[in-house]
Each structure stands twice: as C-alpha cells, then as structure tokens.
C-alpha cells in the first residue's frame, strides 16, 4: 500500500461532489459571487436545466488576469482578508466554488474591473486550465459553464428531468433575489426571459415587500404583515402572510440570515408555533423573514453548500421569531387575506359575464386607517360603538341576551362608516351580516366570527385565571347515557375553568349550574350533549385547554350568535366592533375567513361602471 497525495483535479472533483450537487448549486454559487462583487444587475441563462449551459453575467467589481488565475485555484478567495472566520460578511468565503465547477465542466470566466482598459478570459476543462487570454468584455464578469458533470458521469446520471432541474435553478435565483431587492435579475434560456426582476428603490420595507410580491405573488404582497423586532443585537424583519393565506407545504417559508438563504428546522417549528390555532394543522403559512445577526454570534461554516448556519444562542433566536410573528399576527387583528374576496369577486364575475374580461381586479386588503383604528380601539375610546358586545361578560342579566326582532335598533347611534368593518346594514339568511364601509361592502359570517371571538376570549381569560361564569336562574338537568356522563364529569374541573359548571345528578345525568358568560343565552342541553360527544373523540391525554379550538367551536355553536339566529342592528354592530378589537378575528380557527370585503371600485367594475 502506498499513500500518496491526490492530484488537484481529483481533489477538486471530490469537493465538487459536495459543493455542486446539481445545476442549481452552480447557479447559486455563481450568483452569490456576483452579489459579493457588488453587482447591481445579474443576468442568468440556463439551458437544458443547466446541463448544457449556465451563464451568469454581472456588472460587479471584476477580476484582473492575475485574479483570474487565482480564482480558479482551490481555497483561493478574496473574502477572508484577515483569516477571521468569525467575521464573515460575504456569501462566499471557502474559495471552493470556481475550482469545483471547473473540475467537472468546461468553464470560461471573462472579466474586467471597471477601471481596466481591457478584459481577460480564462478557460478550464475538467480541471485543467489554460493561461488567461485578453478578451473583449464590458466591465464586470461573465461566467459560462458548459457540459456540467461531463467529467463525472456518475453524477450526470443522477440529474432529474430538465424541468425539475430548471425549477431548482430558478428557486436558487429567486431565493437570493428576495434578499437583494436592490439588484436587478433576469433569468432565461438565452432566447426567452422567464424571470425579470427590476431593481427596486425607495423605503427599505416597501422595497423588500415589492420584491417579495414579484416573486411570491401579488396575493402575498396584499395580504402580508410586516414583522420587525430586535433582541440583544439580533434583528428580525420581513413579511408574513395572514393566516387565511396558506399552502399545502412549507415550501413558501423563507429564512435569510445576514442576507443568506438558509434552510433551517428552527424556522419551520417557530412558524408552526406562531400560527398555532389560526390555521389548520395540515396547512402552511407563507413567510419571508430576515435575521440580522452579529457575525460573531453565528457560525456559517457548517456545510460546504453554506445553506445551514448555527446560532450561538438558538433559544434567543427562536424566542425572537415566535414572539415577533405572534405579535405581528395579533396586530393584524381583523385583517383577512384578500384571496377570499378575490375568489368571491371572480365567481360573481363568472356568473355575470362569462365572456367578460378575465382580469380580476386586485382587492386591497390594506386598510389605510388601520393603525388609527387600532390605536383608538386599543385605548378603549370606542366612542362610535353603541355598547359593549351584547354577548359579553359585562352583561349581568342573562335575559338581556334575548333576541330582539331584526331591525330594532333601539335608537342606537349609527357607527362611523370609516370603522374598518363599517356599519351593519342587514342580516341575510340569518347567517351573514352585511355592513357598509367607507369604500366597500363587508360580509361577515356571524357564526365563524362569533366562534373566533369566543376562542380568543376564552384563551385570554384562561391566561388570566379562568373564564367568567354566568349562573343559570334555573339549573338545567341534562340526561345522558352513563358513559357520556362519566366522561364529562371526569373533566368537570377543566370545564369549570372554561366557564361551564356541572355536577353529577344521579345515574347518567348532570346538572348545569353556570355557563360561560360570553356565550350569551346558552342552549345548555345541546352544549353538554355535544361536549360529551366531543370528549369521546378527543385525545384523552390532552388537557382541554390544548384542544380549545374544538371546545370553543362547540361552545360557540350553542351560544347566542350561531348561524340561523336573527340579530338586530345594534347586536350586529356590537359584533363588528368586537371583531375589530379582537386579535386574529379575520379568520376562524381553521384559517377560514370570518369576513370578506368587496371594494366599491371592484363592485363598480362588476357592473361595468369603470
Ligand atoms: P469564494 O466566493 O468563496 O471566495 P469562489 O471560488 O466562488 O470562492 O470565488 C473565488 C474568488 O473569485 C472570489 O473570492 C472572488 O475574489 C473572485 N470572483 C468570483 N466570481 C467573481 C465575480 N463574479 N466578480 C468578481 N470576482 C469574482
Ligand atoms: Mg463564491
């Protein structure tokens, strides 16, 4: 056995196995180099999913002939001037990408620094490189990779279909583009441009949102909430989708750490936690969040592909992310994703004019006066609200919850139209509240909204010691089967904390003495029977407060505002105001919207007035 040092071509091919997994990794490395070189525009061409050609052209700082010779050497980099791995502020630092790509393809780099009179070009084929030659090129760098993996046939065999590789390469570009909105990007096959992202300028947050919108879709842009928080020098910013905007998987969740796209389990877990109770558990939020971490609190040297990082204090980061996301969602309160109203509009449009214009107008989800209202509401100054929500804890007398005939407004002052959810005008099908806002019509699903309010109230109250109860004038006896009675009595303590006081009443029966005050008039019989059934289906090991969504929806079903109950105008307005006050009231616990808003402008378009 003879031990010998491997030839550099072989070493580089081995490294290429880790650094360049597929065409998308080469695209990522080259675009990162352009960004590190301070480019203001990057033009990318990908042919055959990157197999026959990848070309990346930038207008960055360029390289001299001597730079070119070094750039293709292994571990040669301009990015660690003082050898300090704790101070990495560039995307690259390992000096591996160009030699790795050169080892497995036919690579040509042509480059010219802005102040040089001419360009130079260097070629490498399967790891063997020629001397740099003079060339013609404008300032900046053009890297062309042809026949990727021709020198490593085993890897070539593992490439997927052209469309799959193209998708991966496109994603590599869009991820970097999200973090660098000031840079213009184009991507195409040399004939057709498939992605065009102009450079964005202006206010930092808007710049970012507009780039995110261009990539993640206008839906996201319209329904996104800004996030901004800081703790011990770690800053989190970005935009997250309202809970009504959800996807089948987590592929629309993006995390960037110091401008670097990162895949991190930390993110997926924290996002799930932040949206808990707002979204069905098999759906996933859309988020793009950016962490800025002091370079010495972070290790980016974890993996050759640089897509993983380690935080010095992961608990701090996790807490920061969950806290900031939750707060942003709570502040968003009653907002709901515009997709719902878009869907509504498009279906109306279909009905109205099948041959009509296919362009669906954008419905604004941004309430201009939103913060204003929150401010007012938050200070409890609701001068416009005629009274507290009728089904509220404040009401002492249960009989006060009796339904007045629809329309009996009892001379209540009319609320301002410029309140976010407007002034109630009518109840239709005993299920929907139709309200008029300054510039549109709001339709509220009264049952879904009430369910949400009950949930928020109960979870708030639980956090502060328990839910207020309302004694029944005449305690109600509910006959159940023995097993059901046993099941529900076993949970009596927990139910008492949720506001429902029950006691045994002989074999197979319970007596209901008190009910949660916020439910208003309660059908105690129905509630107890349904809860007993629910308990049969529920996870026994879990506390009721961890299955609160379910319990609350059952409770709300037996309270005053369920679907099919007539409400008068004052009650409807009270419900709207309560929604405005309540965090997360824009959707029910399953991520379905509780209301949709149709803008006047869109309604006018429906009728061809615009
Ligand atoms: P790293 O990016 O880790 O330094 P690379 O192999 O990707 O390693 O690149 C090696 C060096 O080549 C870089 O440090 C940089 O100085 C130079 N370089 C690569 N691409 C460009 C580019 N597009 N513009 C200017 N310089 C570049
Ligand atoms: Mg690099």
Per-residue pLDDT of 379-414, as tens digits, reads 333 333 332 333 332 333 333 333 333 343 445 567
- Ligand 1 touching residue 58 (CB < 6 A): yes
What is the mean pLDDT of the segment spanning 146-168? Answer: 92
Can you name the residues that pair with 236 across neighbouring β-strands?
Answer: 229, 291
CB distance 107 to ligand 1 below 6 Å: no
Asked whether 94 lines ligand 1 (CB < 6 A), one says yes
Indicate which residue's Cα is closest to atom 20 of ligand 1: 33
**137 alpha carbon to ligand 1 midpoint, in Å?**
18
Residue 200: both structure tokens together: 């964005």
Q: Using a 6 Å cutoff on CB, does residue 62 contact ligand 1?
A: yes
Centre of ligand 2 from the C-alpha of residue 35, in Å:
9
| Residue 199 pLDDT | 96
**How long is the chain?**
610
Q: Is the model more confident about 419 or about 144?
A: 144
Query: What 8-state DSSP symbol labels residue 214?
Result: H
- pLDDT band (50, 70, 90) for residue 269: confident
Average pLDDT of the residues in 336-365:
44
Q: Is 98 within 8 Å of 54 (Cβ atoms)?
A: no
For residue 509, what are the β-bridge partners?
Answer: 479
**Backbone angles phi and psi of 50, in degrees to 5:** 95, -5
Average pLDDT on 59-78 reads: 95
Buried/exposed code over 511-534 (b: 16+ C-beta within 10 A; e: otherwise):
bbbbbbbbbbbbbbeebbbbbbeb
CB of residue 33 inside a 6 A radius of ligand 1: yes
Ligand nearest to the CA of 60: 1
Residue 90 CA, closest ligand 1 atom number: 2
Cα 224 from chain centroid (whole Å): 8
Residues 6 or more apart whose CB falls under 8 angstroms from that of 66 comprise none
- The two structure tokens encoding residue 400: 């006060």
What is the C-alpha to C-alpha distance for residues 609 and 449, in angstroms, rounded to an integer? Answer: 32
Distance separating alpha carbons of residues 44 and 143, to the nearest angstrom: 10
Residue 75 tokens read as 């571990």
Is the shortest distance between the CB of 61 and ligand 1 below 6 Å? yes
Asked whether 63 lines ligand 1 (CB < 6 A), one says yes
Which range is least confidently modeled, 45-59, 305-319, 358-372, 436-450?
358-372
Q: What is the maximum span of the chain, computed from C-alpha positions, in angstroms?
A: 100
DSSP state of 593: B
- pLDDT tens-place string over residues 542-554: 778 777 877 888 8
Pocket of ligand 1 contains residue 596 by CB under 6 Å: no
Contact 149, 156 (CB under 8 A): yes
- The Å distance, Cα 77 to ligand 1 centre, comes to 6
Handedness of CA 229, 233, 237, 242 (dihedral sign): negative
- pLDDT value of residue 67: 97
**Kind and range of the H or E element at 280?**
none
Would the CB of 34 count as within 6 Å of ligand 1? yes
Distance (Å) from CA 159 to ligand 1 centroid: 26
Is the CB of residue 29 below 6 angstroms from any atom belonging to ligand 1? Answer: yes
Dihedral over Cα of 338, 340, 345, 347: its sign? positive
What is the number of the ligand closest to the CA of 99?
A: 1
**pLDDT range class, residue 198, cuts 50, 70, 90:** very high
Q: How far is the CA of 297 from the centre of ligand 2 (A)?
A: 22
The reported pTM is 0.66
Q: Which of 547, 557, 569 is nearest to 447 (CA)?
A: 557
Surface-to-core class of residue 404, CB atoms within 10 Å of its CB (0-12 exposed, 13-18 middle, 19+ buried): middle
The residue nearest atom 12 of ligand 1, judged by CA position, is 71
What separation in Å is there between the alpha carbon of 108 and the centre of ligand 2? 15
- What spacing in Å lies between the alpha carbon of 97 and ligand 2's midpoint? 5
Q: Which of 450, 434, 332, 331 lies closest to 390, judged by CA?
A: 450
CA 511 to CA 155: how far, in whole Å?
72
> Of 360, 558, 332, 334, which is closest to residue 435 (Cα–Cα)?
334
338 pLDDT higher than 80 = no
| Closest residue CA from atom 14 of ligand 1 | 77
């Amino acid at each position: 056995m003879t031990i010998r040092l491997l030839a550099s071509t072989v070493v580089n091919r081995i490294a290429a196995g880790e650094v360049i997994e597929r065409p998308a990794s080469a695209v990522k490395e080259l675009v990162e180099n352009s960004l590190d070189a301070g480019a203001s525009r990057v033009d990318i061409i990908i042919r055959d999913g990157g197999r026959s050609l990848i070309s990346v052209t930038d207008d960055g700082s360029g390289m001299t002939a001597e730079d070119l010779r070094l750039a293709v050497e292994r571990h040669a980099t301009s990015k660690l001037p003082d050898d300090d791995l704790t101070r990495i502020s560039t995307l690259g630092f390992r000096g591996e990408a160009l030699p790795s790509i050169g080892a497995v393809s036919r690579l040509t780099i042509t480059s010219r620094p802005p102040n040089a009179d001419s360009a130079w070009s260097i070629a490498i084929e399967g790891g063997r490189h020629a001397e740099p030659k003079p060339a013609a090129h404008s300032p900046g760098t053009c890297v062309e990779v042809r026949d990727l993996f021709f020198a490593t046939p085993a890897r070539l065999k593992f490439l997927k279909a052209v469309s799959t590789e193209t998708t991966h390469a496109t994603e590599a570009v869009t991820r970097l583009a999200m973090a660098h909105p000031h840079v213009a990007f184009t991507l195409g096959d040399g004939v057709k441009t498939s992605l065009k992202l102009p450079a964005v300028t202006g206010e930092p947050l808007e710049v970012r949102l507009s780039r995110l919108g261009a990539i993640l879709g206008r839906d996201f842009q319209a329904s996104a909430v800004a996030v901004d928080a800081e703790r011990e020098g770690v800053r989190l910013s970005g935009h997250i989708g309202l809970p009504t905007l959800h996807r089948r998987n987590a592929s629309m969740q993006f995390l960037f750490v110091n401008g670097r796209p990162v895949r991190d389990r930390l993110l997926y877990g924290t996002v799930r936690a932040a949206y808990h109770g707002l979204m069905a558990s098999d759906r996933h939020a859309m988020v793009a969040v950016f962490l800025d971490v002091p370079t010495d609190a972070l290790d980016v040297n974890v993996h050759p592909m640089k897509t993983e990082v380690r935080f010095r204090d992961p608990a701090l980061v996790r807490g920061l992310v969950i806290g900031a996301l939750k707060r942003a969602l709570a502040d968003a309160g009653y907002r709901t994703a515009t997709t719902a109203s878009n869907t509504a509009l498009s279906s109306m449009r279909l009905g109205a004019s099948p041959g009509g214009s296919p362009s669906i107008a954008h419905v604004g989800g941004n309430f201009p006066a939103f913060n204003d209202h929150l401010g007012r509401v938050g200070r409890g100054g609701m001068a416009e609200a005629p009274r507290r929500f009728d089904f509220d804890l404040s009401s002492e007398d249960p009989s006060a919850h009796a339904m007045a005939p629809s329309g009996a407004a009892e001379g209540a002052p009319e609320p301002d139209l410029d309140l976010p959810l407007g002034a109630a005008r009518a109840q239709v099908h005993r299920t929907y509240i139709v309200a008029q806002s300054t510039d549109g019509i709001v339709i509220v699903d009264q049952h879904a909204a009430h369910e949400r309010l009950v949930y928020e109230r109960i979870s708030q109250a639980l956090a502060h010691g328990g839910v207020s109860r309302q004694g029944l004038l005449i305690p109600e006896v509910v006959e159940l089967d023995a097993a059901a009675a046993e099941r529900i009595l076993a949970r009596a303590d927990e139910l008492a904390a949720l506001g429902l006081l029950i006691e045994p009443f002989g074999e197979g029966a319970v007596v209901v003495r008190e009910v949660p005050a916020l439910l208003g008039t309660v059908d105690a019989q129905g509630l107890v029977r349904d809860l007993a059934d629910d308990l049969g289906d529920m996870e026994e090991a879990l506390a009721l407060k961890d299955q609160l969504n379910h319990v609350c929806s059952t409770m709300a079903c037996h309270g005053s505002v369920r679907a099919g109950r007539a409400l008068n105008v004052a009650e409807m307005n009270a419900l709207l105001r309560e929604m405005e006050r309540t965090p997360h009231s824009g959707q029910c616990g399953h991520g379905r919207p509780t209301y949709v808003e149709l803008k006047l402008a869109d309604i006018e378009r429906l009728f061809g007035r615009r």
